[in-house]
Chains A and B, each alone.
Chain A
Amino acid sequence: MSAPSLTTAPAGPFTVRLRLPWRRLRPVLLPLLFIAGCLAAWQVVANLNPQSRAVLSAPSDVIGVLNKNLPLLLPHLAATARETVAGFALAAIVGMVLGAALAQWRRVQQALLPHLVLFQIVPKIALAPLFIIWFGVGPESRLLFALFLAFFAIASATTAGLSATRPDALRLCASLTASPWQTFFAVRLPFAIPSIFAGLKMGMTMALIGDIVGEFVSGQEGLGYVVMFAAAGADAALTFAALTLLCALGLTVYGVVVLAEMAAERWYGAPFVSEGFHNRKDK
Chain B
Amino acid sequence: MDTLAMGTILDPPEATAAARQFIQVRGARKVYASGDKSVEALSDVSFDVAKGEFVAILGPSGCGKSTLLMMCGGLEAVTAGVITIAGTPMTAPRASVGIMFQDPTLLPWKTVLQNVLFPARIQHLPEMEYRDRAQQLIDMVGLHGFENKRPHELSGGMRQRVAICRALLNDPDFLLMDEPFSALDAITRDEMNEVLLDIWRRYAKTALFVTHSIREAVLLADRVLMMTRRPATVVADIRIPFGRPRDMSVTEAPEFTRLCTQLRGMIERGTGQLDRRPGDGPILQPGRHGGEE
Contacts and interface: CB of A to CB of B under 8 A. Distances in A.
Q: Do chains A and B touch in the complex (CB under 8 A)?
A: yes
Interface of A: 166, 168-169, 171-178, 182, 186-187, 190, 268-272, 274-277, 280, 283
Interface string B66-88: 00001001110000000000000
A173 B75 contact: no
B122 A173 contact: yes
Given A168-B101, A269-B111, A275-B151, A175 B121 contact: no
Nearest to A172: B105
B264 interface: no
Contacts of B103: 168, 276, 280, 283
Nearest to B152: A274
A272 B151 CA distance: 11
Interface centre among B92, B108, B122, B152 (most CB of A within 10 A): B108
B122 A186 contact: yes
Contacts of B89: none
Contacts of B246: none
A51 B90 CA distance: 84
Contacts of B152: 271, 274-275
Interface in B167-220: none
A274 B99 contact: no
A147 B119 CA distance: 41
A277 B121 CA distance: 23
Contacts of A271: 108, 152
B110 A269 contact: yes
B134 interface: no
Contact of B93 (A169, A174, A269, A270): A174
A86 B121 CA distance: 37
B109 A272 contact: yes
Contacts of B110: 269
Contacts of A169: 105, 107
Nearest to B156: A275
Given A171-B75, A172-B99, A177-B123, A190 B107 contact: yes
Contacts of B75: 171, 174-175
B105 A177 contact: no
A183 B89 CA distance: 25
Contacts of B70: 171
A172 B98 CA distance: 10
Given A175-B74, A280-B103, 11 more contacts: A166-B105, A168-B102, A168-B105, A175-B75, A175-B97, A175-B99, A268-B109, A269-B111, A271-B152, A274-B150, A275-B152
Contacts of A276: 103
B95 interface: yes
A268 B110 CA distance: 7
A171 B93 CA distance: 10
Interface of B: 70, 73-75, 92-95, 97-99, 101-103, 105, 107-111, 118-119, 121-123, 150-152
A225 B223 CA distance: 80
B107 A175 contact: no
Given A172-B99, A176-B123, A177-B122, A187 B93 contact: no
Contact of A182 (B94, B102, B122, B150): B122
Contacts of B122: 173, 176-178, 182, 186
Nearest to A176: B122
5 contacts: A168-B105, A171-B99, A175-B98, A186-B121, A280-B103
A274 B108 contact: yes
Given A172-B99, A175-B97, A177-B94, A274 B73 contact: no
B31 to A, nearest CB: 20
A19 B189 CA distance: 47
Nearest to A275: B152
A271 B150 CA distance: 9
Contacts of A274: 108, 150-152
Contacts of B92: 177
B99 A177 contact: no
A238 to B, nearest CB: 49
Given A274-B108, A274-B152, A176 B101 contact: no
B93 to A, nearest CB: 5
Contacts of A175: 73-75, 93, 97-99
B108 A272 contact: yes
Contacts of A186: 107, 118, 121-122
A147 to B, nearest CB: 31
A78 to B, nearest CB: 38
Nearest to A283: B103
B19 to A, nearest CB: 24
Nearest to B167: A175
A131 B93 CA distance: 52
A171 B151 CA distance: 19
Contacts of A173: 122
A276 B105 CA distance: 10
A190 B109 contact: yes
Given A271-B152, A275-B151, A276-B103, A177 B95 contact: yes
Nearest to B108: A274
